Amino acid sequence: MGIPAFRINKKILYRIIDNRNDIIVGKCKSKDLNYPYFAIFAALLKLICDMRTIQMVDTKTQYHKIKQEVDKAVIDVLESSAFINGKPVQDFAANLSAYMGVKHTIPCANGTDALQIAMMALDLQPEDEVITPSFTYIATTEVIALLKLTPVFVEVDARTFCMSPEALEKAITPKTKAIVPVHLYGQAAPMEEIMKIAAKHNLYIIEDTAQAIGCDYTFSNGIKKKAGTIGTIGTTSFYPSKNLGAYGDGGAIFTNDDELAVKLKMIANHGQSKQYHHDVVGCNSRLDTIQAAILDIKLKHLDAYCDARRKVADYYDRAFAGNEKIKTPYRTGYAKHVFHQYTLILENVDRNGLKEFLASHQIPAMIYYPIPGHKQKMFASFGSSQNNMANTDWLTERVISLPIHTEMDEEQLAFISSKVVEYINQ
């Protein structure tokens, strides 16, 4: 005898997914889910769902789609034995420069090194002030203190999460030498306004593009540039979860200044102008050949990866539209968001409760970032904890990031968004 056909509405489907383990073993508390065929359906769902575990980022599935190319590239490096500064490093740097529309790309070991090398190349002196948002990952700010410079934290725009030009202008003093705008979560900072302020006060700009590689910025005159190529120097990270992620650590520095490019390369290589001639104090920061070979393959897919993330963001936007307790990510008119993160602002919602509720349904969620820079213990000596940053403090209490990556399917998105709404509307 065959199994009769029957219809299941979405509400019952999600309840079957939630209760699939209990249904299979006959311990489901819900009477209307005790129909015997639901147990078969639940078992199939369990198999499917176990195969498609929801993750914040799915690098494994992404890898399998380019496995043949990647495996060959890695084997080619192994066969060449050119593990450091092999040809793939130069090839990747050239191809990334072409993609970014920038004259020089200097690969390095990671995104933090990229920021440090950039500041070293600008000859900043101890106690010089460097302005940066407090609402960012600690790497942006720790290198400022590491180089004995003075971090000056400024407020962000509550909609974009990026540096406020008004706050920037107010923070400038005679000691200010550089600005580090952060393109957070995949959203570009308001670079046109920031550039005007920097020009007015003769300040350097170091763009932190770790979360926004591939983001297009359009100026009011119609000119387009990639985030990371607008200021004096741009930096990025190839941490595996990034939009352009390596299978290990990696980073890069961008500039259109020929002389600065020479200095950046020297600093990243022990300050050498040529072998055994060390002209400046430098460090040892290299992108290894295997990572460069992998990144060169993934670079060809970067625009598609960004489009896939936008598609996920579009789905979430529609799912949460009209819910007064949820503010979806704001999209500016000047930049094309690449959605490294999909970050909500919650109003009158128990954020930790939501995070725990999602975890109970095997849905990860993250809070980026619960403690802003100006309240971190490492900066206590600068007296930054006394800073009045209403927007930053408000955001750190309300933001939550949902899973977003290139391999998400509609079933996962429907399940995640339904659970978020279920908790918020209860």
Alpha carbon distance 423, 354 (integer Å): 7
Residue 292 has pLDDT above 60, yes or no: yes
User: Is residue 190 very low, low, confident or very high in pLDDT (cuts 50, 70, 90)?
Assistant: very high
Number of H helices, E strands in the chain: 16, 15
81-to-108, 290, 297, 375 alpha-carbon distances in Å: 20, 10, 19, 47
Q: Do domains 61-299 and 301-424 have the same CATH topology?
A: no
Q: What is the dihedral of CA 66, 69, 72, 74, to 10 degrees?
A: -60
Residue 275, pLDDT > 80, answer yes
Q: What is the mean pLDDT of residues 82-99?
A: 98
* Mean predicted confidence (pLDDT) in 161-183: 98
3-state secondary structure 269-283: ECCEEECCEECCCCC
Query: Contact 190/216 with Cβ under 8 angstroms?
Result: no
Type of residue found at 381: S
Architecture of domain 301-424: Alpha-Beta Complex (3.90)
Categorize the per-residue pLDDT at 36 as very low, low, confident or very high, splitting at 50, 70 and 90.
low
**CB burial of residue 345 (10 Å; 0-12, 13-18, 19+):** buried
CA 233-212-417 angle, to 5 degrees, is 165
Look at 12-26, 304-318, 354-368 and tell me which has the smallest mean pLDDT: 12-26
pLDDT band at 221 (very low <50, low <70, confident <90, very high): very high
- Evaluate whether 171 touches 131 at the Cβ level (below 8 Å): yes
Other CB atoms within 10 A of residue 72 CB: 12
Say what the pLDDT of residue 51 is.
42
Predicted pLDDT at 319: 98
297 vs 36, more confident: 297
What is the Cα 327 distance to its own chain's centre? 19
What is the pLDDT confidence band of residue 37, given thresholds at 50, 70 and 90? low
pLDDT, tens digit, 9 for 90 and up, residues 112-153: 999 999 999 999 999 999 999 999 999 999 999 999 999 999
Distance CA 349, CA 358 (A): 14
CA dist 33 and 20 (Å) reads 10
Judged against a pLDDT cut of 70, whether residue 3 lies above it is answered with no
Those residues whose C-beta lies under 8 Å from the C-beta of residue 261, and which sit 6 or more positions away, are: 103, 104, 106, 255
Mean pLDDT of 310-337: 98
Task: Give the per-residue pLDDT at 38.
Answer: 57
pLDDT at position 388, please? 87
pTM over 0.85: yes
- Alpha-carbon distance 90 to 87, whole Å? 5
> What are the residue ranges spanned by the domains of the chain?
10-51, 61-299, 301-424
**Other residues' Cβ atoms within 10 Å of the Cβ of residue 39:** 18
36-40, 314-318, 380-384: least confidently modelled range: 36-40
- Which CATH architecture does the domain made up of 61-299 adopt? 3-Layer(aba) Sandwich (3.40)
Query: Is the pLDDT assigned to residue 1 strictly greater than 60?
Result: no
User: What's the rounded mean pLDDT across residues 238-254?
Assistant: 98
Q: Is the pLDDT of residue 331 over 50?
A: yes
Distance CA 179, CA 335 (A): 20
pLDDT digits (tens, 9 = 90+) for 70-81: 999 999 999 999
* Range with lowest mean pLDDT among 8-17, 249-258, 346-355, 370-379: 8-17
Model pLDDT for residues 399-426, shown as the tens digit of each residue: 999 999 999 999 999 999 999 999 999 9
Reduce the DSSP state of residue 229 to 3 states and report it: coil
What mean pLDDT value characterizes the chain? 92
- DSSP string of 325-374? TEEPPP--SSEE---SSEEEEESS--HHHHHHHHHHTT---B-S-SS-GG
pLDDT at 385: 72
Confidence of residue 358 (pLDDT cuts 50, 70, 90): very high
- Confidence at 58, pLDDT banded by 50, 70, 90: very high
Mean per-residue pLDDT for 220-240? 98
